[in-house]
Chains A and B, each alone.
Chain A
Amino acid sequence: MLAIFFVFSAISVISALAVILNRNPVKSALSLVVCFFSLGGLYLLLQAEFIAVMQVLVYAGAIMVLFLFVIMFLNLGPEGLKERRGAIISPGASWGIIYLLVPIFLSLLYAIHHPQAFTGASGEYTSEAIAAAGGNTRSIAMVLFSKYLLPFEVTSVLLLVAVVGAIVLAKKRL
């Protein structure tokens, strides 16, 4: 179990680094697909099968296809595709990284390794209870369509707004 975890997390971290360090946006997008797949593997390790499948279908499938479509559609030429030499780190950004990112990361690590920070009321969905109720997907559906029914319906309105907004923005003449 621990070995599988380390393999998946190493793949996800390395491919995430490849996303931000590649100069070619197409290679960045493909590295991000690898990262999403390994995160799906981590979700499987956590026994969240529904979220793992959603991760592969929605993120690695739909969203990344949209990214690749736009990269190809914009047809960034050779000088646009390769960023300008030395442009990968601007001088302001390195100060931002030192003064913003390092404290954030250190405080995150401090909070993570002091587990008394994470004392929440334990819920009723143990793995035995989920198995007795008919699996992860069925249990999620039970909660989603009862306790979270209104947010679920609002989600459809949000998607409708996004569709209309994308068409209004990207279409030349309505």
Chain B
Amino acid sequence: MVPLPYYLTVSAILFCIGVCGVLIRRNAIVIFMSIELMLNSVNLTFVALSSVLNSLDGQIFVFFVMVVAAAEVTVGLAIIVTVFRNKATVEMDRINLMKW
């Protein structure tokens, strides 16, 4: 049996890689992928803790997180397609219509 801190450490590393991706990348699609990475690291935490605590609630929460992620990706990619149609770019520092 793998100890719980190992899973949580992997999850923390993946989450921080996701935050790094959001901070350093300019391509909107890659930023979206980094957000998916963060959601997945949280899912790993949910499943590890639910297995340690002998509870299924964590796995059901992972199910709901997956549904929300699917909805979020659908709407977000539609927004990216619309922005690309108007601005002909997906780089975040060139999309500054709302920047004062």
Contacts and interface: CB of A to CB of B under 8 A. Distances in A.
Asked if chains A and B come from one complex, the reply is yes
Chain B interface size band reads: 35 or more
Given A83-B26, A88-B25, A63 B2 contact: no
Contacts of B55: 120, 122-125
Contacts of B73: 63, 66-67
Interface string B69-82: 11111110111111
Main secondary structure, interface of B, reads helix
Listed from nearest, the 6 A-B pairs whose CB atoms lie closest are: A123-B55, A20-B21, A162-B71, A169-B78, A108-B12, A166-B78
Nearest to A111: B8
Contacts of B1: 1
Interface of A: 1-2, 5, 9, 12-13, 16-17, 19-20, 25, 28-29, 32, 35-36, 39, 42-43, 45-48, 50-51, 54-55, 58-59, 62-63, 66-67, 70-71, 73-74, 76, 80, 83, 87-90, 93-94, 96-97, 100-101, 104-105, 108-109, 112-113, 115, 118, 120-126, 129, 136, 139-140, 143-144, 148, 151, 155, 158-159, 161-163, 165-167, 169-170, 172
Interface in B22-46: 23-27, 29-30, 32-34, 36-37, 40, 43-44
Given A13-B17, A67-B29, A112-B8, A139 B56 contact: yes
Contact of A158 (B9, B43, B71): B71
B77 A80 contact: no
A45 B9 contact: no
Interface in B57-100: 57, 59-60, 62-64, 66-75, 77-82, 84-85, 89-91, 93
Contacts of B7: 42, 46
Contacts of B2: 1-2, 5, 45
Contacts of A112: 5, 8-9, 12
B66 A118 contact: no
A106 B6 CA distance: 15
A62 B66 CA distance: 11
A97 B80 CA distance: 25
B79 A169 contact: yes
Between A2, A47, A63, A109, the greatest number of chain B beta carbons within 10 A of the residue's beta carbon is seen for: A63
